[in-house]
Structure 1
Amino acid sequence: MAEKKSLSRSLSARHVSMIAIGGTIGTGLFLGSGESIHKAGPFILVIYLITGFFVFLMMRALGELLLSDTDTIIFVDFIKKYLGERTGFIMGWTYWLGWLVIAMSELTAVGTYMQFWFPHVPAWIWELLFLGLLYLINIVAVSAFGETEFWFALIKIIAILAIIATAVIMLLFHVHTSQGAVRLSNLWRFGVSSGNNWQIIAAFQMAFFSFLGVEFVGVSAAETKDPLTNIPHSINSVIMRILIFYIGALMAIMVIQPWTDYNAGKSPFVQVFAGIGIKAAAGIINFVVLTAAASSLNSSLFTTGRMLFSLSKPKSYFAQLNKQAIPMRSITLSTCIVALVVFINYLFPEGAFKLITSVASAAFLIIYMFLMITHIKYRQSIDYQQSKQLFKLPGAPYTDYLTIIFMAIIFLILLFNPETTITTIITIVWFVIISLLSYSQVKS
Structure 2
Amino acid sequence: MSKLRKGDATALSRSLGNRHIQLIALGGTLGTGLFLGSAGVIEMAGPSMLLGYALCGLFAFTIMRLLGEMVVTEPVSGSFSYFAGKYWGRFPGFLAGWNCVILYVLLGMLELTAAGKFIQYWWPDVPTWATAAVFFVLLNALNLTNVRLYGETEFWFALIKVLAVVGMIVLGGYLLASGKAGPGASVANLWNGPGFMPHGIAGIAMAMPVIAFAFGGLEMLSFTAAEADQPARAIPKAINQVPLRVLIFYVGSVAIVLMLTPQLDLVSALHRSDDIYSRSPFVEIFSKIGIDSAATLLNFIILTAALSVYNSMVYCTSRLLHGMAEQGNAPRSLAAVNRHGVPVRAIVFPAALTGLCVLLNYLIPKGLLEALMSLIVAALLILWTVIVVVHHKFRRQKPAGTTSFKAPLAPLSNWFCIVFVAFIAAMMCADPSSRGAVISIPIWVLLVYVSYLAHRSMKRGLQVSPQTLEPNES
Match of 2:409 in 1: 395
Q: CA RMSD in A?
A: 2.4
Give the counterpart letter for 1:185 in structure 2. Answer: A
- Which residue identity is paired with 2:306? A
Shift of 1:178: 4.1
**TM-score normalised to structure 2 length:** 0.86
Q: What does residue 226 of structure 1 align with? A: 230
1:34 Cα deviation after fit? 2.3
CA distance in structure 2 between the partners assigned to 1:202 and 1:282 by the alignment: 29
Moved more, 395-404 or 66-75: 66-75
C-alpha contact 2:190 2:259 (8 A) present in aligned 1: yes
The answer to whether the aligner puts 1:342 opposite 2:358 as a matched pair is yes
Deviation of the 1:179 alpha carbon: 4.8
Find out whether 1:385 has 2:363 as its counterpart. no
Residues 15, 227 of structure 2: 8 Å contact kept: yes
**Residues 1:144 and 1:128: Cα distance change in structure 2 (over 3 Å):** same
Q: 1:170 to 1:354 in 2, by over 3 A?
A: closer
> Are the counterparts in 1 of residues 129 and 362 from structure 2 also a CA contact under 8 Å?
no
For 1:397 and 1:68, how far apart are their aligned partners in 2?
A: 18
**Superposed counterparts of 1:9-408, under 5 Å:** 9-118=14-123, 124-173=129-178, 175-180=179-184, 182-190=185-193, 191-263=195-267, 264=270, 265=276, 266-312=279-325, 316-348=332-364, 350-351=366-367, 354-381=370-397, 383-385=398-400, 387=402, 389-408=403-422
Moved over 6 A (4+): none
Spell out, residue by residue over 1:101-131, the C-alpha distance to the aligned partner (whole angstroms, 9 max, x if none): 2212222333443344455666555433322
- Structure 1 length as normaliser, TM-score? 0.92
Asked whether the equivalents of residues 110 and 126 of structure 1 are also in contact (C-alpha less than 8 Å), the reply is: yes
Shift of 1:80: 1.2
How far did 1:205 drift?
1.4
SS at match of 1:419: helix
- The question of whether the paired residues in 2 share the 8 Å contact of 1:356 and 1:423 is answered with no
Q: Distance in 1 between matches of 2:130 and 2:284?
A: 30
Distance in 2, Cα, partners of 1:35 & 1:165 = 24
> Within 2, Cα distance between the matches of 1:343 and 1:210?
25
Q: Summarize deviations over 1:78-120 as a string: whole Å, max 9, x none.
A: 1111110101111211110111122122223334433444556
- In the alignment, the residues of structure 2 paired with residue 120 and residue 247 of structure 1 have an alpha-carbon distance, to the nearest angstrom, of 34
Q: Structure 2, unaligned stretches of length 5 or more?
A: 271-275, 458-472
Q: Secondary structure at 1:225's aligned position in 2? A: coil
Query: How many residues align structurally?
Result: 440
Distance, in Å, in 1 between the alignment partners of 2:77 and 2:333 is 20
Contact map agreement 1:178 1:276 (CA 8 A) in 2: yes
Deviation of 1:161 after TM superposition, in Å, equals 1.1
Go from structure 1 to structure 2 and tell me whether the alpha carbon gap of 1:317 and 1:377 turns closer, same or farther (over 3 Å shift): same
Deviation by residue 1:151-201 (Cα, 9 ceiling, x = unmatched): 21122222211221123223432x054452x43333223321113332221
d(CA) in 2 for partners of 1:121, 1:249: 29
Q: CA deviation at 1:73?
A: 4.2
> Cα distance, 1:320 vs. partner?
1.2
Identity %: 35
**Structure 1, unaligned stretches of length 5 or more?**
none
Task: Report the more deviating stretch, 5-14 or 204-213.
Answer: 5-14
CA displacement 1:345-403 (0-9 Å, x = unmatched): 3344543574244223211112111101111111100x34361x431111111111111
Q: Cα distance 1:69–1:122, how it changes in 2: closer, same or farther (>3 A)?
A: same
Is this contact kept in 1: 2:175–2:181, CA < 8 A?
no
Q: In structure 2, the residue corresponding to 1:248 is in which secondary structure?
A: helix
Q: SS of 2:342's equivalent?
A: coil
Distance across 1 between alignment mates of 2:39 and 2:376: 22
